[in-house]
Structure 1
């Protein structure tokens, strides 16, 4: 990072962030071993990190990598959580991003996201929207939210994939399996190339194409970590089965 980037990121490393880091990072190091690969690919300044989602503990693993890489991790959360007496204060102190459903105020989410990116923070998004339902834990078909945010803000999109966290806490499990001590691997992929799409009108075709590139980047990263060939088809949550990859549709 340049000195300017460090200064920018530092504006977001509030006492709340530093306190969370002091508590969370040593705990994660104690619970699991880790192998972080490709950290040099993290860009300078603000960026959007897209990640595969296998278990409820994933956010800690991804946030840890982002923080070690020099940036502050920021997640999107329901705006109702920000109204809770204690939790809301914590979320605001850590400058997390409220997802505002009210159309009259929804622009505030984008404004806060842009502010985070401008100050050198990282927005972590799970394009699938939830834990994968794929029976073999491959990334599912993604929603267009990550692509829309990237194309609207101009921020680079970096795929961060991991494998092994689910050995400690299986999908949808409430009880971890700490023994024997588990180890996960995490890799940072190449920035998703969206340059040719950024100058085009933000229609269905552009969003679909950008989303498919994000899907492909996540699937390729998981395949590399698993040492396996990815399925030819992708899991569609609505249909509860694997379907052909997204077919780009013409703009309306």
Structure 2
């Protein structure tokens, strides 16, 4: 994309960095050198916060690049946010008809851009990576169709600032870890499901690494809503979280259907 079109994006990046400093976020990025400095790249990240694109994109910014994210269509309808999303070259996704988004993503990759995808599709309530069955194969499909490396990017900690359930905090000093994994390239004869299997394994390991390194674990895990249940925390367990995730998707789809009906 042209330098002129990138100006709004770079302005948003600068604003986000100021907000990070105001909030005193301790953002630690590891492995940024694993993200290629040129050519098409598919970034696949876990999804835990409404603002996680701001940290998922940091490794690319440090490599002199910008990530064009696939994001739910409803974000683009908000007056200011929608204008910014379009100005930054992000791609709206309608879950009921995703072909248009896929075409735009392929066009961006063939132009040598970095495209960001959230295979979990929605923010997870368990604050761990969702089960393999819940990962969408879109990121792998884009990599296979274009030959772009599939780069896993995991993050953990930003959900303590802003996430689902109306939870947010302006408390200063939160730690947010971001780690870039080794690029995945398709193996001979590998299809999108097999590549997604490998992506899931890599992302899950990276998320676990970040939780292992978390510098401020709760003194009483059971009372900490943000600490994973698999580690004795107060977050929903995998079964409960999966139900909450499905309810969130159903509510969003119902809202979209009602909006479409009003237009007719």
CA RMSD of aligned residues (A): 3.1
The answer to whether residue 11 in structure 2 is matched with residue 19 in structure 1 is: yes
Change (3 A) 1:96 1:151: same
The answer to whether residue 140 in structure 2 is matched with residue 140 in structure 1 is: no
* Residue 119 (structure 1) shift: 3.6
| More helix per residue | 2
C-alpha separation in 2, matches of 1:138 and 1:52 = 9
Residue 249 (structure 1) aligns with: none
Question: Secondary structure in 2 aligned to 1:14?
Answer: helix
Aligned with residue 169 of structure 1, among 156, 159, 162 = 162
Residue 210 (structure 1) aligns with: 195
Q: Which moved more, 1:153-162 or 1:213-222?
A: 153-162
Instruction: Report the TM-score when normalising by structure 1.
Output: 0.73
Instruction: Report the TM-score when normalising by structure 2.
Output: 0.70
Q: Is the 8 A contact 1:75 1:97 kept in 2?
A: yes
* Residue 37 (structure 1) shift: 0.7
Residue 182 (structure 1) aligns with: 174
* Residue 170 (structure 1) shift: 5.3
Question: Secondary structure in 2 aligned to 1:227?
Answer: helix
Question: Secondary structure in 1 aligned to 2:36?
Answer: coil
Residue 220 (structure 1) aligns with: 205
Question: Secondary structure in 2 aligned to 1:195?
Answer: coil
The answer to whether residue 152 in structure 2 is matched with residue 159 in structure 1 is: yes
* Residue 177 (structure 1) shift: 4.0
Per-residue displacement from partner, 1:186-229 (whole Å, max 9, x unpaired)? 1111012323246xxxxxxx23212111110100111222228x
Per-residue displacement from partner, 1:22-59 (whole Å, max 9, x unpaired)? 21222123320111111111113221111112222322
Change (3 A) 1:118 1:236: farther
Aligned with residue 56 of structure 1, among 50, 53, 67 = 50
Q: Is the 8 A contact 1:140 1:237 kept in 2?
A: no
Unaligned runs of 5+ in 2: 214-227, 231-236, 245-264
Q: Is the 8 A contact 1:34 1:184 kept in 2?
A: yes
Q: Is the 8 A contact 2:140 2:196 kept in 1?
A: yes
Unaligned runs of 5+ in 1: 1-8, 199-205, 242-252
Residue 6 (structure 1) aligns with: none
Aligned with residue 77 of structure 1, among 66, 71, 77 = 71
Q: Is the 8 A contact 1:50 1:124 kept in 2?
A: yes
C-alpha separation in 1, matches of 2:192 and 2:240 = 19
C-alpha separation in 1, matches of 2:15 and 2:78 = 22
Q: Is the 8 A contact 1:42 1:158 kept in 2?
A: yes
* Residue 159 (structure 1) shift: 0.7
